[in-house]
Amino acid sequence: MGQGGFVGLSGDVMRIDRDSCSGPSVARTGDSWAGSILRNLVADFGVNMNMKTVVLGICLLARLAPWAGAGESSTQTAPASVKQVTAIRLEGKIDLDGRLSEPEWRDDVAATDFVQREPVEGVAPTERTLVDIVYDDEAIYVGARMYDADSKAIVARLGRRDASVTSDKFIFFIDPYHDRRTGFYFGLNAAGTQYDGTLLNDTWDDSSWDGVWEGRVRRDDEGWTAEMRIPYSQLRFQRRDTHVWGVNFKREIARKNEADYLVYTPRTESGFVSRFADLVGIGNIVPPRRIEVTPYLTAKAEYAQAEAGDPFNDGSRFAPGVGLDIKAGLGSNLTLDATVNPDFGQVEVDPAVVNLSDVESFFEEKRPFFIEGSSIFNFGRGGATSFWSFNWGWPDFFYTRRIGRRPQGSTPDADWVDSPSGTNILGAAKLTGKFGGNLSVGILQAFTGRETARIDLGGVRSEAEVEPPAYYGLVRVEREFNGGRQGLGLMSTVTARSFGEDRLRDEINSSSLAFGVDGWVFIDGEKTWVVNGWTGVSDVRGNAARIASVQESSLHYFQRPDASHVELDPDATSLKGAAGRLTLNKEKGNVIFNSAVGFITPGFDVNDLGYQWRADQINGHIAAGYRWTNPGRFTRRVNHKLAAFQTRDFENNAVSTGLGYMGFAQFLNYYSANWSVFYNPQSTNNTRTRGGPLTINPPGYELYLYVNSDDRKPWVLGAGSGAYTSDSYRSRSVDASIEWKPATNLAVIASPAYAAESARAQWVDAFDDPLATNTYAKRYVFATIDQKTFSAGLRLNWTFTPKLSLQLYAQPLIASGDYHDYKELARARSYEFNRYADENISVEDGSYTIDPDGSGPAPAFSFSEPDFNYRSLRGNAVVRWEYRPGSTMYLVWTQSRSDVESIGDFRFGHSVGRLLDAKADNIFLLKFSYYWNP
Q: What is the DSSP string of 349-386?
A: PPPP----SSS--------HHHHTTGGGG--S--S-S-
Task: Assess whether pLDDT exceeds 90 at residue 358.
Answer: no
Q: Which residue has the higher pLDDT, 365 or 174?
A: 174
Weakest-pLDDT range from 97-111, 252-266, 335-349, 551-565: 335-349
Within 8 A by CB and 6+ apart from 503, the residues are: 409, 410, 465
What percent of the chain is modeled with pLDDT above 70?
A: 91
Alpha helices in 223-367 (DSSP H): none
User: Confidence band (pLDDT; 50, 70, 90) for 82?
Assistant: confident
The answer to whether residues 633 and 663 touch, using CB atoms and an 8 Å cutoff, is: no
Q: Which residue has the higher pLDDT, 695 or 334?
A: 695
Query: Per-residue pLDDT averaged across 421-427, rounded?
Result: 91
Query: Per-residue pLDDT averaged across 792-812, rounded?
Result: 95
pLDDT of residue 154: 97
Within 8 A by CB and 6+ apart from 909, the residues are: none
Closest CA to 130 of 150, 103, 152, 100: 100
Residues 744-774: pLDDT tens digits?
A: 999 999 999 999 999 999 999 999 999 999 9
pLDDT of residue 841: 95
Closest CA to 446 of 369, 502, 515: 369
How much is the mean pLDDT over the chain? Answer: 89
Weakest-pLDDT range from 259-263, 339-343, 381-385, 706-710: 339-343
User: Confidence band (pLDDT; 50, 70, 90) for 79?
Assistant: low
Cα separation, 883 vs 805, in Å, equals: 12
Within 8 A by CB and 6+ apart from 371, the residues are: 208, 365
DSSP β-bridge partners for residue 597: 582, 620
Query: Per-residue pLDDT averaged across 560-586, rounded?
Result: 96
Query: Per-residue pLDDT averaged across 441-449, rounded?
Result: 94
Angle, CA 115 vertex, CA 111 and CA 119 arms, to 5°:
145
Weakest-pLDDT range from 147-151, 424-428, 436-440: 436-440
Query: Per-residue pLDDT averaged across 828-838, rounded?
Result: 96
Residues 175-218: pLDDT tens digits?
A: 998 988 889 999 999 999 999 999 988 888 988 888 999 999 99
| CA terminus-to-terminus distance, the chain | 29
Within 8 A by CB and 6+ apart from 64, the residues are: 479, 481, 488
The Cβ of residue 530 has, within 10 Å, a number of other Cβ atoms equal to: 24
For residue 57, what is the enclosing H or E element? helix 49-68
Cα separation, 553 vs 550, in Å, equals: 5
pLDDT of residue 362: 83
Cα separation, 518 vs 399, in Å, equals: 18
User: Confidence band (pLDDT; 50, 70, 90) for 346?
Assistant: low
Residue 257 — left, alpha, or beta (φ > 0 → left; ψ -120 to 50 → alpha)? left
Give me the sign of the Cα torsion angle 140, 145, 146, 152. positive
Query: Per-residue pLDDT averaged across 277-293, rounded?
Result: 90
The answer to whether residues 489 and 58 touch, using CB atoms and an 8 Å cutoff, is: no
Give me the sign of the Cα torsion angle 381, 384, 386, 391. negative
Residues 103-140: pLDDT tens digits?
A: 989 888 899 999 999 999 999 999 999 999 999 999 99
Query: Per-residue pLDDT averaged across 734-742, rounded?
Result: 96
User: Confidence band (pLDDT; 50, 70, 90) for 345?
Assistant: low
pLDDT of residue 5: 29
235, 401, 425, 452 from 406: Cα distances, Å: 37, 10, 12, 12
Q: Which residue has the higher pLDDT, 495 or 77?
A: 495
User: Confidence band (pLDDT; 50, 70, 90) for 240?
Assistant: confident
Within 8 A by CB and 6+ apart from 227, the residues are: 94, 96, 97, 98, 99, 100, 141, 142, 143, 144, 215, 216, 217
Residues 481-538: pLDDT tens digits?
A: 988 899 999 999 999 999 999 999 999 999 999 999 999 999 998 999 999 999 999 9
Weakest-pLDDT range from 139-148, 438-447, 697-706: 438-447
pLDDT of residue 16: 26
Numbers of helices and strands, H then E, in the chain: 5, 49
Using CA atoms in the order 614, 619, 624, 625, what is the torsion angle rounded to 10 degrees? -20
Query: Per-residue pLDDT averaged across 465-470, rounded?
Result: 96
Within 8 A by CB and 6+ apart from 530, the residues are: 383, 384, 520, 521, 522, 523, 584, 585, 587
Per DSSP, the three-state class of 288 is coil
Weakest-pLDDT range from 121-130, 654-663, 905-914: 905-914
Distance, C-alpha 67 to centroid of its chain: 35
Neighbour-count burial of 529, counting CB atoms closer than 10 A to its CB (0-12 exposed, 13-18 middle, 19+ buried)? middle
pLDDT of residue 3: 27
**DSSP code, position 44:** H
Q: Which residue has the higher pLDDT, 10 or 472?
A: 472
Cα separation, 128 vs 134, in Å, equals: 20
Model confidence, pTM: 0.86
Query: Per-residue pLDDT averaged across 538-546, rounded?
Result: 97
Task: Assess whether pLDDT exceeds 90 at residue 34.
Answer: no
Query: Per-residue pLDDT averaged across 399-404, rounded?
Result: 92
